[in-house]
Amino acid sequence: MSEKLPLKKNFTFKSILPVIRTIAIVIAAIVIFIFIYHLPSSTSIDFTILRKSLNRYGTRQRTEETTAKTKSASETAILEELERERERYVNESRARMFVESATNDYYKGSYEEALRRLDRARIYDPCNFSAFKLSGQIFFEHNKYRKAFNDLERANQLPNDDKTLARDLDVLKKLLRHSRSEIDKLRHTVNTNPDNKIAKARLKELEERVQD
């Protein structure tokens, strides 16, 4: 009786699975090793890019903040300028009202009241030509030469087209020189003769004319 030879075993997927798993593990280990080996260089590049991005973002943020602050400051300056313009307009309007009232008082003969109103007008608007011109005219008519000269000279310094100011100022200069000359003579007379009442009265009158 002849002996039977042993049959060869059939290779199946299950039989080679351990081998495939081992090869996969080895390949994975190699890939991980390569990745770890190159990791510092890649990380450094990533951090550099990140820093650049952050710097650009920070610069943009600072630029936006600076722009916002500049815009805010510009808007504030504009609002302040508008408020100053409004206040100036109101003050100039008030000054004109006082000048108009003072002019009416002047024509009525209420000179003291007119001068008080003109003082108020100059407080609101120190550059009101009419206020200085009218007050100078009132002082001129009441022989207050120095006060008239001061106000008319100030009026002449402001923008105007009045052609009579130079003439009035020239007249006042002559009157002031004449008054000072006469004052010197009267003072000498009064010092020489203290009982001279006429000289004293005249001296007082002239001193009031040249008083500031």
DSSP annotation of 4: P
The token duo for 17 is: 């699975």
* Structure confidence at residue 122 (pLDDT): 95
pLDDT tens string, the chain, 212 residues long: the values are: 444 444 445 556 566 777 777 887 888 778 776 766 655 544 444 556 656 666 776 777 777 777 777 777 777 888 888 888 888 899 999 999 999 999 999 999 999 999 999 999 999 999 999 999 999 999 999 999 999 999 999 999 999 989 899 999 999 999 999 999 999 998 988 898 888 989 889 888 888 888 87
Sequence length of the chain is 212
**What pTM was estimated for this model as a whole?**
0.62
As given in the structure block, the two tokens for residue 92 are 């100039």
Output the 3-class SS for 34-47: HHHHHHHHHHHHHH
